[in-house]
Structures are given as structure tokens and as C-alpha cells.
Homo-oligomer: A and B are copies of this chain.
Amino acid sequence: MGPNLGFIEPTIALHYVFNSPNDKFVFDVSHQCYAHKILTGRKEGFTNPDLYEKYTGYTAPEESEHDLFKVGHTSTSVSLATGVAKARDLKGENYNVVAIIGDGSLSGGEALEGLDNAAILGSNIIIVVNDNEMSIAENYGGLYANLSELRKTNGKAECNFFKSLGFDYLYVENGNNIEDLINAFKQVKDINHPVVVHIHTLKGKGLDVAEQNKEAFHWIMPGTLDKKDDTHVVMSESYTSLTKDFIFNKVKEDRTTCVINAATPGVFGFNESFRNLLGKNYVDVGIAEEHAVAFSSAMAKQGAKPIFCVMSSFIQRTYDQMSQDLCLNNSPITMLVHWGGLSNADATHLCSFDIPLISNIPNMVYLAPTTKEEYLAMLEYAHNQNEHPVAIRVPMGEIVSTGEKDLTDYSKLNKYELKEQGETVALIGEGRFYNLAQKVKNELKEKQGINATLINPKFLTGIDEEILENLKQNHKIVVTLEDGMLDGGFGEKVTRFYGNSDMKVLNFGGKKEFTDRMQMNELYKRYRLTKEQITEDILKLV
């Protein structure tokens, strides 16, 4: 909401001066693309309630020839635009390539790599830096002092981040003034070398409540404007408050406890008052997940107690740092992975790949709690131990509580919990899908009188050979249920274990694909993840 409101005039000016789709606009995160969508034939998606779902919140080539890429992760536009420009040059074509990037996105490694390369392209590329003085929350990083200096000096400061990379440079102080913007864009149209047009805009422009509550109005839920005081519905609020309480207590107990996140504090419920409360024990690294992991690893190596909070979709941005900086050094950090699981998210923000991504890196311990008590015990274990990098897949939704403290010793790795001993069929349900396993158990009992065994694996990074071996005695079928993509995931490890035996194994989970805003019940049906479908598939084998 906020970024889009601040980018209306620039969008109009861009479309006025440039000739899309002949000239190419490449958006970043697409957080500034709503006005662009409205101007390119898709306004009914914003005005007709029946069509609100018709268009994505991101640029989407399948919707319009004016959208070049499907994007939703940040800091990509400059690299993509550089590729567009290079293709143009090799083909001997002639048009303008315009990358749009917000100031918050500049701190991401891909953006910085892209800028460094765009600067030496040697031909037309126009980088519009939409500087609204904010990321989702505050900006963090040294370059923001330079942007501030450039704003103060009307772009005249000698020491200029963009010029230091080799860009030509133009500053527009009133980035919400259409005439000023048109003049600036006309100046750079058909330019024969890389140029940055740095425009100063107002996040939330034109909507008082959004101008005044910039962070809360970065994104809003439908209906929010009708009840302005209740600005955000925080997802998984209960597990969120558990996490915050845990962090707060640990910081009080131990001044080396430090919570780290990469520019998405809202995802974890870290509002401004909580951030202030934590003080120097809170670090927002800006959009810089790679740095966040290396930084956390080094802190732990020096005896501090980092807790890195991250969304499943964005942990993808830091595989090599998890492998090299973290796991190769076996640094005992706590990593809290949020929103992991199948979801109705946009294709750009899926959270179903974290198990394959994280659990196949050596030395990593990835835990999946199924209840509040397990979550708290795992948090304690992860935070207090000094042996391994430990990631926890933070549960979502309503709190599940047994009321009994979990006394498990999680330092004994890969010990699954045999919750209910039965026979013939064993159900292994991971995280949120433990509950599903319970339901299938009930179905099997009701339909065929089968008393299935129920197992909570807790560990996603390994196999409990003892439990699995014992199942061979009086079980014919082992069923794994995982809330994520099957390929490279948890279930396949179980199946591999049984490869040389007579045990039948069925793996339930998601298919390797990018889904796009699919209803959860449809998704579950497609993957045969309803209790009825699972039971049916099991009974075929019994």
C-alpha cells in the first residue's frame, strides 16, 4: 500500500515519457507496480470487488506485455534490467531499459552486484531509485546516510554512492511532482550510458493514515481502511507472542543474546516498542539475508547468543552462507524459520522449499515442533547449546498445547517420539501435519479397525534408525506426512532407509511446482493431503 501510493506520480511520468512496452520497465519486488497495472489495462482489478483476485500484487508477464518478469523477492530489478539491456545490445535493437528500485532494496547483495555491473554496461540503462526513506521498517546500512546527504544537498554532495560505482546521476527532490519527474525522465530518455535517477518520494502519499503510519501501511489487509486503529492482523499471533516472550527473557538474563532479522520485523511481531525495548540486542541488517547468516555465525563463534528470525521464502537467499559461513563452522546459532509450509501464497512468496533447502546441509539441525511445549523446549535447547546450528520451523496458527512441559533432551539428535504404539501402519507426521497424522489414524481405526502407530519425528535433518528398524517387526506400511515439497525433503530420507526391506512407504506432501494463490483446500486435494485421500491410499496397500 505505502510504496504504491508514493509511486503514483512517477508511474504516470514514466508512462508519459517512455513508450512501454517498446521501452522496458523492470520493477523490483513489484511493490511499486499498482499504478503501472492500473495504467496498463488492469484497473478493474482495483475498482471492481469481484475482480480483486484477478491480478497478482506483483508484475506478471501472463497478465500484460508491459510486465517483463514475475518478481516478488527483492533487489532483483537492476540485474534483470542489465540482462534486458545486454540482449538489446547484442540484437542491435534500440530502446530504453528502466529499472525501478526502492531505497530499502538497495542493501541486498543482488542489487549491489547488479549496480556494480549495470554501471559498466556502456549503453542505455536508467535506474530509477525510488527513495521514500524507508524499507518496510527503517532502513539500516551505511549507504542510507549517503542517500540522506544527497537529499540534503539536492543531489550535489561530492561523495555519492552511485557516482562512486560509475553512474551518471540526476536528483529529483520532489519525486511526487509530475512536471519535475517528466523533465528528469526526458533528460535521460535515450541516454547512451548508465544513469541513476534518484527521486525523493513520500511513502503513503495522499492517504493521511498511511503517511503517518508508514510501517503499518507498508501492507494492509482488506478492510483495514474501515477500521484504521486496528492496522494489522498479525499472523500466528500466539506463537509470535511466545517467541517474543522467550527473546525478551533471554535478553534480560544474558546481555549477549541478540535477535537478528533482515528488514521484515513485522513478520515476527517485532513492533517499534519491542525493538526499542531490546535496544542493542536487536539488529535489523536491512535487506541482507546473506550478511545476517554470516553475522550470526560469527557472533555465536565468539560466544554470543544470536537468534536469527527469517521467513521460509527468504531463507532461500542465503544457501551458501548457511553452508559455508554457518554449517562448515558449526556455529551454534538459533534460526527461527517462519511460515514454512504449503500455503495459498503468490508464486513469488511460497514457503514450501525450506525443508529440502535447509535439511540437506551437513551439520544443520532442523526441528519441527508440533505443540507450544515442544516449541518452548526446542527454543531452550537451541539457545543454550554450543554444538550445532539449530533451526526451528516455527508453528503457525492456533496454539496447540498439551499443558505438560516437554522434557525431551534434544541434544540427542534425530530421536523421534513414538506417541502411540500400534501395528500394521505407522504414521509419521511432521510439524503442522502431525495433527493430520492423528486424523488419519482415527480414520483407519473407524474404517478398518486398524490401530496405527503414531510418530512425531521432531527432527527434519535425520533418521531415527532405531525406531524405524523396530517398525519392521509388526508394520507393513510407513506413511510420512510433510508440510512442504516432497522432492529432496523429509519423507524421502525415510523411504531411502527402507529401500532394502519389505516395508512399503508412502510419502505425502507437495509436488515440485510453483503454485500461485491456490486455495488451501484445493492444494490439499491436488496433493492427496486430505485425511480421506491419505486413508484411501493407505488402504489400497493394506
Contact = CB atoms under 8 A, between A and B. Distances in A.
Nearest to A164: B161
A110 interface: yes
A324 B71 contact: yes
Contact of A166 (B142, B160, B321, B513): B142
Nearest to A109: B109
A356 B355 CA distance: 12
B294 A80 contact: yes
Interface stretch (A33-41, A415-423, A492-500, A517-525): A492-500
A360 B484 CA distance: 12
B514 A294 contact: no
Contacts of A362: 512-514
Contacts of A70: 328-329
Interface string A97-128: 00000000001111011111111100000000
Contact of A109 (B83, B110, B159, B501): B110
A291 B79 contact: yes
A503 to B, nearest CB: 9
Given A109-B290, A360-B353, A360-B512, A86 B295 contact: yes
A167 B145 CA distance: 11
A280 interface: yes
Contacts of A303: 87, 91
Nearest to A285: B117
Given A87-B303, A301-B84, A488-B360, A290 B79 contact: yes
A332 interface: no
A113 B107 contact: yes
A54 interface: no
A513 B330 CA distance: 12
A235 interface: no
B500 A90 contact: no
A376 interface: no
Interface of A: 26, 61, 68-73, 76, 79-84, 86-92, 107-110, 112-120, 140-143, 145-146, 158-161, 163-167, 194, 255-256, 258, 280-281, 283, 285-286, 288, 290-291, 294-304, 306, 314, 316-321, 323-325, 327-329, 347-348, 353, 356-357, 359-363, 485-489, 491-493, 495-496, 498-502, 504-507, 512-514, 540-541
A400 B109 CA distance: 40
Contacts of A115: 142
A80 B325 contact: yes
Contact of A116 (B288, B348, B500): B288
Contacts of A359: 487-488
9 contacts: A70-B328, A76-B321, A82-B291, A87-B303, A90-B281, A92-B255, A317-B319, A362-B512, A502-B502
Contacts of A361: 353, 512
**Most B-side CB within 10 Å, residue of A70, A80, A108, A489:** A80
B295 A360 contact: no
A398 to B, nearest CB: 30
What are the 5 A-B residue pairs with the smallest beta carbon separation, nearest first? Answer: A109-B109, A83-B298, A119-B142, A142-B166, A488-B488
Nearest to A120: B142
**Most B-side CB within 10 Å, residue of A76, A109, A500, A505:** A109
A297 B83 contact: yes
Contacts of A164: 143, 146, 159-161, 164
Given A91-B303, A353-B361, A501-B504, 6 more contacts: A83-B297, A84-B301, A86-B258, A90-B281, A114-B294, A314-B320
Nearest to A110: B290
Contact of A298 (B87, B90, B110, B280): B87
A159 B146 CA distance: 11
Contact of A79 (B83, B258, B298): B298
A177 to B, nearest CB: 27
A363 B350 CA distance: 15
A294 B328 contact: no
Contact of A69 (B118, B301, B318, B356): B301
Given A324-B73, A362-B512, A83 B329 contact: no
A132 to B, nearest CB: 18
B360 A110 contact: no
Contacts of A140: 117, 120
Contacts of A82: 291, 295, 298
Contacts of A291: 79, 82, 110, 113-114, 116-117
